[in-house]
């Protein structure tokens, strides 16, 4: 009986120690583009209290920025242009903050955009 209880405790101790995925990952987007192409993504964020910031910045870029101004109608737009001549993979993680109640956002999520860059 003691050995069965011991085995159950061992199983619980090691069996429940699995790697958890990021539960805030809202979207996982895959994009293929040439190294001379621009990529734009409207993040559908408009409110005064809402916004976005980089959780992980891309590594191989000429341009990797969040734009929110009159040219975008004050929506948050992500703009990416790969590094000149770069071929390979890249990614960016953007943390979004939405659902503002007048004092700040109420929902925080992460969008990961994976790039396959070709010549």
Question: What residue spans define the domains of the chain?
Answer: 19-118
Q: What is the mean pLDDT of each run of 10 residues along the chain (119 residues)?
A: 47 42 72 98 89 97 97 96 98 91 79 97
Q: What is the pLDDT of residue 113?
A: 98
CA–centroid distance for 77 within its chain: 14
- DSSP-assigned beta bridge partners for residue 108: 97
Distance CA 54, CA 96 (A): 9
Q: What is the pLDDT of residue 107?
A: 87
Distance CA 112, CA 93 (A): 4
Q: What is the pLDDT of residue 87?
A: 98
Q: What is the pLDDT of residue 49?
A: 84
Show the tokens assigned to 91. Answer: 């990614």
What pTM value is reported for the model? 0.76
Q: What is the pLDDT of residue 66?
A: 98
Q: What is the pLDDT of residue 10?
A: 45
Q: What is the pLDDT of residue 103?
A: 67
CATH number of 19-118: 2.60.40, 2.70.98, 2.60.120, 2.40.33?
A: 2.60.40
Q: Which of 23, 75, 14, 21 is nearest to 46 (CA)?
A: 75
Q: What is the pLDDT of residue 12?
A: 44
């Amino acid at each position: 009986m003691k050995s069965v209880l011991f085995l159950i405790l061992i199983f619980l101790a090691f069996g429940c120690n699995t790697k958890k995925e990021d539960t805030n990952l809202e979207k996982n987007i895959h994009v293929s583009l040439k190294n001379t192409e621009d990529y734009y993504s409207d993040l559908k964020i408009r409110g005064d209290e809402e916004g976005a910031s980089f959780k992980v910045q891309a590594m191989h870029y000429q341009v990797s920025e969040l734009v929110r101004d009159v040219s975008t109608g004050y929506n948050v737009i992500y703009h990416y242009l790969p590094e000149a001549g770069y071929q390979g993979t890249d990614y960016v993680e953007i943390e979004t903050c939405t659902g503002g109640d007048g004092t700040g956002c109420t929902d925080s999520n992460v969008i990961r955009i994976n790039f396959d860059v070709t010549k």
